[in-house]
Amino acid sequence: MGDPVRTELNGQVLTIAIDRPERRNAINEAVVAGILAGLDAAEADPGVRAVVLTGSGDKAFCAGGDLQPDATGAPFSLDPADPRHYVAALLRRMDGYRLPLVARVNGHALAGGFGLVCACDLVVAREDALLGVSEVKVGLFPMMILPFLLRALPYRQVMELCLTGEPITAREAAEAKIVNYAVPAAELDAKLDWLLGRIVDKSPSGIRLGKQALAKVREMSLDGALEYAQFMLANMARTADAREGFAAFKERRAPLWTGE
């Protein structure tokens, strides 16, 4: 068997693709290790401005944990006393990631696969892809991804998906503001490139520090958030990118970002 995860660098964008189409790109420990390696490599490369997470083929983005009888990975073999499960490690890494993470939903994203979508910053999906959590159908509940479902979806939508186990289409998800864009399959990559083009020409340090601030503010009280925001704004104004941005605006030219 080959590597379960492929990476491809195209200009300023690194694409990480789960490459198990025969398993509907299901998650196991090797898949998580591959995604983590890709995330680390992108963050270590100053030339990378965004990361795309997708699946191979046109059937599934990711069908969640590998449940087949002869599957490897055992995603549900958990030690309740050990918080270091590999899926939790991946979700934590994605939650604190410094670069923009964009999900390219090339097919169905179900269970843990939908969790990966919700853990990304932006989502471009083919409109006929199914999104949902089917765990209740096998006597479970989507425990590991609940924090991300609650951030990305309205509460009653979370409850309906979790209690019925019935998916929705990406088109419906776009109408509910769960994904950013849902387009016909033939237009998926063009829409993705359009969105990435609007990201990679912006300040790397502004995005990096802004994502850090968003993650912190989300968990704070109003008073704490305002105090932290004031501190972060003052620090951001001292960066080389901010000085360049102000200068470029004054001189009516395109800024030359250094990411510093």
Q: How far is CA 37 from CA 30, 44, 92, 192, 240, in A?
A: 10, 11, 14, 23, 29
Active-site position among 127, 135, 160, 219: 135
Based on the residue annotation, tell me whether 8 is a catalytic residue of this protein: no
> In three state form, how does the secondary structure of the chain look?
CCCCEEEEEECCEEEEEECCHHHCCCECHHHHHHHHHHHHHHHHCCCCCEEEEEECCCCEEECCECCCCCCCCCCCCCCCCCCCCHHHHHHHHHHCCCCCEEEEECCEEECHHHHHHHHCCEEEEECCCEEECCHHHHCCCCHHHHHHHHHHCCHHHHHHHHHHCCCEEHHHHHHCCCCCEEECHHHHHHHHHHHHHCCCCCCHHHHHHHHHHHHHHCCCCHHHHHHHHHHHHHHHCCCHHHHHHHHHHHHCCCCCCCCC
| Catalytic site positions | 135
